[in-house]
Amino acid sequence: MNLKPEQLPAALQRSVASLFVLTGDEWLLLDEARSAIGAAAQRAGATERARYDVEGRFDWRQLQLAQSNLSLFAERRLIDLRLPGGKPGKEGGEFLRALAETVQAQSTEDIWLISLPKLDHATQKSAWFTALSEAGVQITFWPVARTALPGWISDRAAALGLRLHPEAAALLADRVEGNLLAARQELDKLALLAPQGEISGETLLAQLTDQSRFNPFDLGAAIVEGDRRRALHLLRRLRQEGVEPILLLWVLSREFRLLSRWSAGSAGSSGVPKSRAPHYDRAARRSPAGFWQQLLGRTADIDRAVKGVLAADPWQLLDRITLAACVGRLPQAIE
């Protein structure tokens, strides 16, 4: 039986199957599914858990012995079998096919949990995998698409009692670059602070850079004020302190969007504090909305450079775009 990952919690509430087959390369999702199945198995009386990792010259006879030997301590056992290479070989394939037959014949009290990486088409069509899929519950964990990652982060945050502004979720998605474990770790740290209300992009950025002496928002302020010397100095110091370029890119993109709206006459909806309004007025007179929109478009190149898609130094591009924003014109290098 094939299930979608989100169907697993409901399925475990109804009953616990004797065989689970998990596939995919998303380590965090697989590990959480294993934990959920382990907890459900324990509630169902499987108080003993045995783990086997199929690596190198694995002896499949030990699994045959484990299958035939009854536990002295528990009526049911959870047998956690992991195949990181995804290829059981001839002997392993025969064992897994026999295991599927045993499960289908309801001849075992044990609960089997088999974890595999993402499988190629040929392996998915193999006799042993087909037999396992038909005998038990099979779930494939696909990578979270980049466009869906902010939503995934928001859902995870909500489960921790946090409310993330969409801007904050997008910032964190950019920062972790698809690493779900890193996203979970950042959310866990954020939950420890127990912030009240909705968490903005500014709050999240402050959390991500709390060890830095220099604030990335100071760089944004220097750009708005057209202070070229201070902006370049801050950029250099932030780099020395190890602040990630993706976080600085977020600050610059935010300022360029605000300045574009301000220059276009939409100051009332910009969200700029009143104390900062005179600085944005002067910046709007320095350059038209089209200029800030051009700079915003150039931030896409920096994003691609950070992610290795574009063969360029992201810090060099940040330096150029910072200088362009301060002087109010695009240098030839980025026109």
Interval 99-128: pLDDT, tens = 999 998 888 888 999 999 999 999 999 999
**Which of 118, 141, 164 finishes a domain?**
141
Q: What angle do CA 226, 228, 230 make, to 5 degrees?
A: 105
43-59 per-position pLDDT tens digit: 988 888 889 999 888 88
d(CA 189, CA 101): 46
Last residue of a domain, one of 141, 169, 186: 141
Phi/psi of residue 329, nearest 5 degrees: -155, 155
pLDDT at 12: 87
Please tell me the predicted confidence (pLDDT) of residue 335: 45
For residues 46 and 122, membership in a common domain is answered with: yes
| Phi, psi for 245 (deg, rounded to 5) | -60, -30
pTM: 0.72
Q: Is 167 exposed, middle or buried (0-12, 13-18, 19+ CB in 10 A)?
A: middle
155 versus 208: which is more confidently predicted? 155
Shared-domain flag, residues 13 and 128: yes
Domain residue limits at 20: 2-141
Predicted confidence (pLDDT) at residue 32 exceeds the cutoff of 80: yes
The pLDDT of 167-192, averaged and rounded, is 88
Indicate if 25 and 125 belong to the same structural domain.
yes
The pLDDT score that the predictor gives to residue 115 is 96
Q: Coil, helix or strand for 101?
A: helix
- Report which of residues 25 and 270 the model is more confident about: 25
Residue 272 has pLDDT above 80, yes or no: no
**Do residues 179 and 54 both lie within one domain?**
no
Q: Which amino acid is at 166?
A: P
Q: Indicate whether 78 pLDDT > 50.
A: yes
